[in-house]
Chains A and B, each alone.
Chain A
Amino acid sequence: MTTVDGRHTIDREAERIAYKPPEVRHDKQGDMSTEERVEMAMRHFVKNFNTQTASYLDGCLHCGMCADACHYHVRTDDPRYTPIWKIELFKQAYKREVGPFAFFYRLFGFKKKVTVEQLEEWQHLLYDSCTVCGRCSLVCPMGIDIAGMVSMARHGMFKAGLIPHELHETAKKAAETGSPLGVTPEKFEERLEWMADEHEVDIPLNVEKADVLAVMSSIEIQKYPESMAATAKILNAAGESWTFRTDGYEATNFGMLSGNVEWQKEASMKLIDTAIKIGAKRLVLPECGHAYMAMRWMGANMYGKPLPFTVQHISEYLAEALNEGRIKVRKVDKSVTYHDPCQVSRRGGATQAARDVLKHLGVDFREMPNGGDYNWCCGGGGGVVTIKRADELRHRVFKLKMDQVESTEADELLSSCANCRQSFDDSQQHFNWSYKMGSLLETVAENLEEGKA
């Protein structure tokens, strides 16, 4: 007997028996009127229109090539997932309100005013189906950074109270408690003590003055706590003067992912202020992709001037310490493939660091086909992994990643992003997949040659 797709129920009341279209959820926050929502979205879209975005929005040729680079389009063939279409409203607002010919667009009605219904529809396109991975930005013949504009369009969506509830709640929790998973300073301290005991490693906490401030992501603190011990082992072995701090430990930035610039700034300033307070020369970020984008490339702009310390992703720190011989590792006799976190590699420029580390580990490194900067995203970036309703789509696009990994036939899969790791773990469970993602940081820590540094 044929089975009916359980996602769609039969509408027996209709004139002809038909599928009931699945209910589409358009989440709303706040009590704004329809007009207010549109007004807020427009105002905060417009704030992002500068020479860079204007040239991008004016320069699109509508060639559609970005569709071929987007995992959502490639896996579904749904034209709505064409990256440039995801910012259509942003573009519409630009052409009507700010562009060089805005007067004519308004006068002749060439570009209509954005409506709340459109904004609601685009919630799915700007959040559920874009991980801001930036693969589309590399195929565009005009060189338009579409992913960057998705992030900017989110600013307007947040202010209009039109973002997915789960992401809003996560971002709100981060703003209120300092952590998206509610990891309070006390909880952080407890878990550090636990890891210090478990791994018999000294973990300096709240040292008043230190050269290096190490920070963590809540995902690691809660789900992958070994990362904290691994960080400590490595920084100790490298002979650093370093510390974790309870007044600045959370590296994730859900303000950025949700589109709330104020929350983004608050989260960044917490780390910046702490690093300045302890006189840090270096801020070492954990295995987290978006944390790298938020602090390495956006932190100083939140601060309003150059940072008085350098910012490194942990993979960059590892590569530097290994290259300089400050830490040494044993040879790992395995074949390994590496998943590049989009914000660290493709959009962050630190692609080589992980490869240097893998070289020191002496593994049989197997680059994925179209790997490195052209890697397929894990599907969970840009806050997508927090959005429950996007799970089905996320799992669907993950198939591309599975094929990429499997084609290497490597013994192990490593990465350097806890958010990717979380997405991989979830999809691994969903598909009952044989690959389990490991951490580059933990692999180095496990293979440290103690006392030889």
Chain B
Amino acid sequence: MDLLEFARGPALQFAALVLVAGTLWRIVGIAFLGKKPDYSEPRGPGGLGAALKVIWTRAFTAEPFKKATLYPKIMAYVMHIGLFATIFLFTPHIVFFEGWMGLDWPGLPNNVIYFIGVATVVSGFALIIRRATSPVLKLISNFDDYFSWFVTMLPLVTGLLIPVRALFRYEDLLAIHILSVALLLIWLPFGKLGHTFLVFMTRGTTGMVFERRGAKT
């Protein structure tokens, strides 16, 4: 078994297993703690609709905070949209997903994806520079913040290196790229990258609690 076969086979399978098991463990661990019922008389509906509302609305910054949070917000938007496009709209990835799930969808031209990939990496560096220099972020950051950044950037950078084909053979570059994806999947459920699924819980909870009060969400 060569490196590429290992990456495509056992490595990716193991990573997927850890991703699913870790995610379930974390969600169940949080849900298992339970919550006492709220007996206060509701002012507004606080059910699933309220949760979905805030899951959507909190993606946007309220007017009073726009100026102060402009830089990290723009960079975070570029980062997230960029990650989505590079993962799901890149034709070779779609081919991979098709082989796995039997579903396919139209992708973007490769050159567009390369451009988006570079923009995503730039936004990643803009965010990490902010983290390393802002007094607030320096204080509140920990290992998880830097390591999560590293494992997110690695597949992007290795992916962008594949078409360059410098230094390494194509097969080796691809294997390294897939292994970096495996590392990302393995780490995702445990650290801050868990916000991929936790965002629905945090925003949803706030939606249910504060919409019920009729308060600002």
Contact = CB atoms under 8 A, between A and B. Distances in A.
Interface of A: 49-52, 54-56, 58-65, 67-69, 73, 77, 79-80, 82, 84-85, 88, 98-101, 110, 137-145, 296-301, 303-307, 310-311, 345-351, 370, 373-374
Contacts of A304: 39
In order of increasing CB-CB distance, the 9 nearest A-B pairs are A100-B29, A349-B214, A373-B216, A300-B39, A68-B68, A143-B203, A349-B215, A55-B201, A59-B202
Given A58-B26, A59-B195, A141 B41 contact: no
Nearest to A63: B72
A55 B199 CA distance: 9
Nearest to A55: B201
B205 A300 contact: no
B134 A64 contact: yes
A373 B160 CA distance: 45
B40 A299 contact: yes
Q: Residue among A49, A141, A296, A307 with the most chain B CB within 10 A?
A: A141
Contacts of B54: 143
B44 A301 contact: no
B80 to A, nearest CB: 10
30 contacts: A50-B33, A51-B205, A58-B26, A59-B202, A62-B131, A62-B137, A62-B192, A63-B76, A67-B136, A79-B135, A82-B139, A82-B140, A85-B139, A85-B140, A101-B26, A138-B65, A138-B217, A139-B61, A142-B199, A143-B203, A144-B206, A296-B40, A299-B40, A300-B40, A300-B41, A307-B40, A307-B41, A349-B210, A350-B214, A374-B63
B101 interface: no
B142 interface: yes
Nearest to A372: B216
B201 to A, nearest CB: 4
Given A52-B205, A79-B135, A141-B59, 17 more contacts: A51-B34, A59-B199, A62-B141, A63-B72, A64-B140, A65-B68, A79-B139, A138-B62, A138-B217, A141-B73, A141-B76, A145-B210, A300-B39, A300-B40, A303-B39, A347-B215, A349-B213
Given A59-B202, A63-B72, A370-B64, A54 B33 contact: yes
B198 interface: yes
Given A137-B206, A138-B62, A73 B136 contact: yes
Contacts of B1: none
Nearest to A139: B65
B20 to A, nearest CB: 14
Q: Residue among B31, B39, B61 with the most chain A CB within 10 A?
A: B39
A143 to B, nearest CB: 4
Interface of B: 25-26, 28-31, 33-36, 38-41, 43-44, 54, 58-59, 61-65, 68-69, 72-73, 76, 131, 134-145, 190, 192, 194-195, 198-199, 201-203, 205-207, 209-210, 213-217
A65 B65 contact: yes
Given A55-B205, A348-B215, A141 B58 contact: yes
Contacts of B35: 50-52
Given A101-B26, A300-B39, A56 B202 contact: yes
B136 A310 contact: no
B137 A64 contact: yes
Q: Residue among B34, B139, B210, B215 with the most chain A CB within 10 A?
A: B215
A64 B76 contact: no
B198 A55 contact: yes
B202 A55 contact: yes
Given A56-B205, A61-B192, A300-B40, A346 B136 contact: no
